[in-house]
Structure 1
Amino acid sequence: MAPSDEFPSGSELTSIETESSNAPVSPKEMPLPQDARTVFQGGLFVLAVLAAAYVAKVVLLPIILAFILKLLVQPVMRLLARIRMPRVLASLTVIVALLGLVFGLVELLSAPAAHWATKLPEGLPRLQERVKVVSAPLNTLSHLLTHAKSMMGNALPNGTAASAAAPGMDLQGMLLEGAQTFTAEFLTTFLVLFFLLMSGDTFLRRLVEVMPSFKDKRQVADISSQIETDISMYLVTITVMNALVGIATGCAMWALGLEDAFLWGAIAFLLNYVPILGPLTGVAIFLGAGMLSLEPLWKAFMPVVLYGAIHIIEGETITPMLLARRFTLNPVLVIISLLFWDWMWGTPGAVLAVPMLAILKIVCDRVRPLAALGHFLEGEKQALES
């Protein structure tokens, strides 16, 4: 078989190791920079990288999404390799399957989503009646904000307020522009993913080849293999768990008599990809859906109660237990990373925050000058072992 038809892996490159593997740096080998100029230059470099990531979002986001998707579908590519399917055909098969899954979900969810979109304006008076305890303070706050905006508008020069409000009036134009941007990024992501799948380990092989010493070659191979193994396992695990959460949520909503149970299961599945922030959004969504549709009042709270119980069982017990041996990230840094990348890149950034943080920790653990940073990113092992 020709080399282009093989499916080499990063783990195959580690066969160059003869006696010992390149294990993570031990806590006793964590050198801290002694020169203030090193810290200052490193900080400037990080700021420059983040600024470039913010400015180049349109280019970088599809590339990183494609890279993460490649890690997710890597087990499928290995399975296709075992049945001797050519790489080009395997890559095309995976891309078509992913696109079919996306468009199939959109087709199945579009009608229920449109139904609830038309139902929401009609149910707002009922929703306000049920939450009248908090409606008065919210109305007062709304009036205060409106009054403040009117005062600011009067203080601005003539024409300024009108020009500032003009963009908000063109809602249709904003939606059209957002749809065009999403479509372009979506197609770019899958185009990059296709070529990443076709290239296989070409970039890794070239990187290993240019490393100056055998030790450096072995370190690069080990880091790549660890990233592929850990991140792929993480993505596959959370995808399976999210699917189970979606199924359980859909069944619970069906049992409660809430319409379009498949829609609620899909919402729970998708929101669970964003740790902490996603479930919090789900709480608001399921609370609103129950308030709009279910009687009596105690039953209206059951969707959010059941959704919260399912999330606690999955998110606080099962998934951490499955991932504890591979990921011990500091939960405070996880939430900071979520908030930061959500601000930088929006919802896709929040989805990518944890995988990127995990990749950073894997690299830091195996590069001696960065070992202290890797140790700082680590969570409490005793809590996981107990």
Structure 2
Amino acid sequence: MWGLTPRDARYAARALMVMALIAGVAALKLAATLAAPVLLGLVVGVVLAPVVNRLRRIGVPRALSASLALILAIVVLILLVSALGPVLSGLMEEIPKIQREIRSWLDDIVSLVRGAESLGREIEESIAQGSDEAVKAAVPTLMDALWMAPNFMAQSMIFLGTLFFFVLTGEEIYAHLPARETALKAADRAVSHYFITVTSINAGLGLAVFGVMTLLDLPNAMLWGGAAFILNFVLYLGPVVMMASLLVAGFVNFHGGMVLVPMAVYLGLNMIEAQFVTPSLVGQRLHLNPLLVFLSILFGLWLWGPVGGVVSLPAMVWLLVFSGHRTEADIGMEPSAQAEPFAESA
């Protein structure tokens, strides 16, 4: 830079990089409705790339493979939307139960404190009123539903379009980046291996939670199994939310020491998954700083909500492998044992 010493020029360049980073984060935040489904489509496309590659090797045209990936994504979206109705209905049914349980707790507390009858009644009335308002706020109005439907459909179309065209043209995109092609393919293989393995582990955890909650006769056992499957994608925060929810469910549906059993059982299953199953299947040498993982998930949730929380860790794995800070062997896979997602068929 003109008129600056080399040291001042370095400081100025670093300041410009910091400002560019802040501007980039602000742009991603403002463009959440566009950027979040695009990144989700790219992540899903990378995950499905090995399957598409295998289909192409047995003679299936790439356009047909991309269409099959698109159909699969549409089916998953339909199943997800179909499952949300019963889940939300179940949650709405639980709110009055929690409200009654809070009133019962307040009655017990008030009975132990002399001279607090009027205060207890005021607290009960305020909580009851607040609970009613919370229920009204939680149930979307017709206008809210009409407003949210086009927004959801638009983001779904962005996600599906990104997925389809990435699977269809990924090979050509990588061919135009010969200097980075090897690193891009290695990063794609790492994310695909990671995401498929973690999805299988989370599905097993969800089935285990469903089975145990059924044995404990906890209402909505399927809801708890599905919640365990989804929330386990968000490391640290997801299990904490699950434990808190099961604690409330235990207080609502059981008495005595049984109120802690659902939470304790889930904690045991989660510890088995986190300490034994995931390290053995994903790889014990993926040394990611827990603080870095925690902050990246928080950043993803703040940036793009639930979608950001899900894609933040796969995106981190992709960046680490692409930049050379981690290798494919670091996540428990051998490079030679995996087919390159966009490699030329023999």
Residue in 2 that maps onto 1:72 = 47
Residue in 2 that maps onto 1:260 = 220
- Residue aligned with 1:329, SS: coil
User: CA 1:286–1:49 in 2, change beyond 3 Å: closer, same or farther?
Assistant: same
Residue in 2 that maps onto 1:40 = 15
User: CA 1:113–1:47 in 2, change beyond 3 Å: closer, same or farther?
Assistant: closer
Residue identity (%):
26
- Residue aligned with 2:59, SS: coil
Amino acid at match of 1:364: S
- Residue aligned with 1:59, SS: helix
Q: What is the CA–CA distance in structure 2 between the aligned matches of 1:195 and 1:232, rounded to whole Å?
A: 18
State which of 188, 194, 207 in structure 2 corresponds to 1:234. Answer: 194
Q: What is the CA–CA distance in structure 2 between the aligned matches of 1:68 and 1:326, rounded to whole Å?
A: 23
Q: What is the CA–CA distance in structure 1 between the aligned matches of 2:147 and 2:109, rounded to whole Å?
A: 36
Q: What is the CA–CA distance in structure 2 between the aligned matches of 1:232 and 1:188, rounded to whole Å?
A: 21
User: CA 1:116–1:336 in 2, change beyond 3 Å: closer, same or farther?
Assistant: closer
State which of 164, 168, 176 in structure 2 corresponds to 1:194. Answer: 164
Q: CA deviation at 1:331?
A: 1.0
- Residue aligned with 1:301, SS: helix
1:48-63 aligned at under 5 Å gives the runs 48-63=23-38
Question: Does 2:256 correspond to 1:286?
Answer: no
Residue in 2 that maps onto 1:347 = 306
Amino acid at match of 2:322: V
Q: CA deviation at 1:346?
A: 1.2
Residue in 2 that maps onto 1:177 = 147
User: CA 1:223–1:131 in 2, change beyond 3 Å: closer, same or farther?
Assistant: farther
Residue in 2 that maps onto 1:9 = none
Question: Does 2:298 correspond to 1:328?
Answer: no
Q: CA deviation at 1:196?
A: 1.1
Residue in 2 that maps onto 1:221 = 181
**Number of corresponding residues:** 299
Unaligned runs of 5+ in 2: 1-7, 114-118, 127-136, 331-346
Amino acid at match of 1:231: V
Contact persistence 1:243–1:269 (CA under 8 A): yes
Amino acid at match of 1:323: V
- Residue aligned with 2:176, SS: helix
- Of 107-116 and 253-262, more deviation after overlay is shown by 107-116
Residue in 2 that maps onto 1:94 = 69
Amino acid at match of 2:35: L
User: CA 1:109–1:55 in 2, change beyond 3 Å: closer, same or farther?
Assistant: closer
**RMSD of aligned alpha carbons:** 3.2
- Residue aligned with 2:219, SS: coil
User: CA 1:360–1:133 in 2, change beyond 3 Å: closer, same or farther?
Assistant: farther
Q: CA deviation at 1:326?
A: 6.1
The C-alpha deviation readout for 1:154-193, integer Å capped at 9, x for no partner, is xxxxxxxxxxxxxx89962445433432332122101211
Residue in 1 that maps onto 2:177 = 207
Contact persistence 2:206–2:228 (CA under 8 A): yes
State which of 271, 278, 288 in structure 2 corresponds to 1:312. Answer: 271
Question: Does 2:233 correspond to 1:273?
Answer: yes
For normalisation by structure 1, the TM-score amounts to: 0.69
Amino acid at match of 1:259: P
For normalisation by structure 2, the TM-score amounts to: 0.76
User: CA 1:292–1:193 in 2, change beyond 3 Å: closer, same or farther?
Assistant: same
Residue in 2 that maps onto 1:121 = 96
State which of 103, 109, 120 in structure 1 corresponds to 2:78. Answer: 103
- Residue aligned with 1:96, SS: helix
Q: What is the CA–CA distance in structure 2 between the aligned matches of 1:115 and 1:325, rounded to whole Å?
A: 38
Q: CA deviation at 1:227?
A: 0.7
User: CA 1:129–1:169 in 2, change beyond 3 Å: closer, same or farther?
Assistant: closer
- Residue aligned with 2:324, SS: helix
Contact persistence 1:327–1:358 (CA under 8 A): no
Amino acid at match of 1:316: Q
Amino acid at match of 1:233: H
Contact persistence 1:109–1:263 (CA under 8 A): no
Residue in 2 that maps onto 1:243 = 203
